[in-house]
Structure 1
Amino acid sequence: MIRHSLAIAFATLVLVSSQLTGSLAIAGDTLVFEPSAEESNGKHIVLISGDEEYRSEESCSMLGKILSQHHGFKCTVLFAIDKETGYINPYQNDNIPGTEALNTADLCILATRWRELPDDQIRPIYDYMQAGKPFIAYRTATHAFKSGQFADFDWKNFGIQIVGENWHSHHGEHMVQGGRAIRVEANAQHPILQSVEDIYTPSDIYGVFNVDDQNATVLLRGQILKALDPAAPPIEGEKNDPMVPMAWLRNYEPQSGKVGQTFGTTAGASVDFRSEDLRRLIVNAAYFLTGQEILARADVSFVDPFEPTFYGFVDGETYLERKLKPEDFGLGKSTSTFPRSRLIFAP
């Protein structure tokens, strides 16, 4: 009897230890920003990074800090994690641990690019979508997933079905022509545009051809500029006449039939978020999609210094050389201290 009891106790200890080890591994792969008890609004946002070009690991962490510390949201930030080293590596396109955080999320902010996630990581995203919960989808979220067979959903067309558009093209000349957001007059009083006046994006304008006034509320259109300079004039010609949608709000209907809402924008390189009004656009959308009254002028000041790296493809080795883990993006940490390697500061 004693031997049997000891065996049960040992087995229980092993089980608890393995569960604890697993939870610690998951906790180490994610970043959680808790608001103060006095400021908490009771809402949970999950921000999912994972793209090779636009440094979403930088922007999602920065937005999580602003949304939690200035606006009372609990924010969980997820990252593409290298399976061998445990470092952040967006070139590891099949591993974003912690998606089960979506089980308690009120909002998902998505910034991935052509991910191919295993079933256990894609299932919470699928369940969240089937529940008709809201998304903020920025930049590469038009092509958030490359493929996948989970639950017979067409993941490569997640963009067209949930966001409103797939990847098409750079509408301007990539890395040469910047962009500016222009309000759509018919929707200029929409709450999401509260105190949003001027957005300049060094990341240029995406081609958007499936979003229109019949299937979405188009809030901003993208004007192509002649140079990567906020003072540059717009280009002349048909690419700016008419200007393509740059930010919109639309309903989506998954297989469950539960209708959800998505706020989509093709802005969103980490360098774009030097624009105060782009940060305010995202914060306003977070308030709107979680059913809260939008502030007259939301505080979007950086919680910690934010010096983004410029966009562009490098390779997985470059990311691994930096040896960055989620905790390096935590409160009190600044991107200005990160090793840059072949990544450069934004001009």
Structure 2
Amino acid sequence: MALSNDSLIGKHLVFVCGEDEYESEKTMPILAREAARKHGAKVTVLTAGPDPANPTSIAGLEALETADLAVFYIRFRQLPEEQFRYIREYLDAGKPVIGLRTSTHAFQYPEGHPLQEWNDGFGIDVLGAPWIRHFGHSSTTSVSVAWAAVEHPILRGVPTHFECRSWLYQVLPYPPEETIPLLNGATINPEDNGWSYTSDTPRVHPVAWIRTHGDGGRVFTTTMGHPEDFELEAFRRLLLNGMHWAVGAEHLIEGGSE
């Protein structure tokens, strides 16, 4: 099922990659090229330097000044203020955000740092959930549509059920009440390692949801994002649909009204 060919034409999408666990510096450019080639978007991909393990620099964040959408896949960054201010100014402008997986724990500033509040603040106040824990690296996730959202445009062309390699993140009791869950995940073969969960921890958690961040921008968050997830047509479709919705072009996703 194809998306309308003109739904992202002229939109500037900035992909911000900075984590050293899930190879976002490889998967995000693939997604960006698809958005550019199939949907006419202008794309900029930023990566941590000199390598993904370096938490202190993502060059080129000034691209956010002209961005129509920022797509974040970052983890435990400690960006200097001169770089971080572009993110803050983007959010203050009320622009839309997409956050993948580890972006719920995007920053890890030391205690007493002027930006320490963003350690949880980005996950909670922007994306809608902080880092809590997961169900073990050897587990996988069974993903199903949250039936109250079955007609949501982001889910057009996305199967009602699929399995992904991402091990499930505990999200509950987040996201907040004003959030709309789109997909739920049930952990498959969780590890009983004494850290990932306790006996009373729910085994089903939201894995994709939408909300509005404090300054008015649309937000689409998913805790999926393992490299193998990008091999799934369902996951790539979900992300591209999410981009269309985030910039207000959901009516141009196939199945919508003109």
Query: If the length of structure 2 is used for normalisation, what is the TM-score?
Result: 0.86
Q: Which amino acid aligns with 1:47?
A: F
Q: How do 1:68-217 residues align onto structure 2 when only pairs under 5 Å count?
A: 68-82=36-50, 89-147=51-109, 149=113, 154-157=117-120, 158-170=122-134, 172=135, 174-197=136-159, 198-212=161-175, 214-217=177-180
The code of the aligned residue for 2:213 comes to Y
**Does 2:206 align with 1:248?**
no
2:239 paired with 1:278: no
Question: Residue 282 of structure 1 aligns to which amino acid in structure 2?
Answer: L
Larger strand proportion of the pair: 2
Distance apart, 1:275 and its partner CA: 1.0
Identity value in percent: 35
Report the Cα distance in structure 1 between the residues aligned to 2:39 and 2:64, rounded to whole angstroms: 20
Secondary structure, counterpart of 1:109 in structure 2: strand
- In structure 2, relative to structure 1, the CA distance for the partners of 1:239 and 1:183 (3 Å cut) is farther
Cα gap change, 1:290 to 1:169, in 2 (>3 Å)? same
Distance 1:212 1:96 in 2: 28
Cα separation, partners in 2 of 1:222 and 1:72, compared to 1, 3 Å: same
Aligned residue in 2 for 1:300: none
Question: Where do 5+ consecutive residues of structure 1 fail to align?
Answer: 1-37, 83-88, 228-236, 298-347
CA contact (8 A) 2:7 2:252 kept: no
- Alpha-carbon deviation of 1:147? 2.0
Give 1:52 deviation, angstroms.
1.1
Q: What letter matches 1:101 in structure 2?
A: A
The one-letter code sitting in structure 2 at the alignment partner of 1:90 is: P
Question: How far off its partner does 1:261 sit?
Answer: 1.8
Largest Rg, 1 or 2: 1
**Aligned position for 1:224:** 187
Deviation per CA, 1:231-264, whole angstroms, max 9, x where unpaired? Answer: xxxxxx86565x11110001111xxxx3222111
Give, in whole Å, the separation in 1 of the partners of 2:144 and 2:48: 33
Cα-Cα RMSD: 2.2
Per-residue CA deviations over 1:322-344 (Å, capped at 9, x if unaligned) read xxxxxxxxxxxxxxxxxxxxxxx
CA distance in 1, matches of 2:201, 2:153: 28
- TM-aligned CA deviation for residue 212 of structure 1: 4.5
Distance 1:127 1:153, change over 3 A: farther
Contact 1:45 1:107 in 2 (8 A): yes
Deviation at 1:131? 0.5
For residues 201 and 130 of structure 1, the distance between their equivalents in structure 2, rounded to whole angstroms, comes to 34
Letter in 2 for 1:45: L
| TM-score under structure 1 length normalisation | 0.65
CA apart distance, 1:175: 2.2
SS in 2 for 1:76: strand
1:117-166 Cα shifts (integer Å, max 9, x gaps): 0122111101000001111101000011112756x672112101111111
Deviation track 1:281-309 (CA, whole Å, cap 9, x = no partner) reads 11001011111134228xxxxxxxxxxxx
Equivalent residues of 1:192, 1:294 under 8 A apart: no
Unaligned stretches of 5+ residues in structure 2: 1-5, 191-198
CA contact (8 A) 2:69 2:97 kept: yes
Aligned residues: 238
Tell me the amino acid that sits aligned with residue 250 of structure 1.
Answer: R
Secondary structure at the residue paired with 1:70? helix
User: 2:15·2:32 contact (CA, 8 Å) conserved in 1?
Assistant: yes
**Mean Cα deviation higher: 38-47 or 190-199:** 38-47
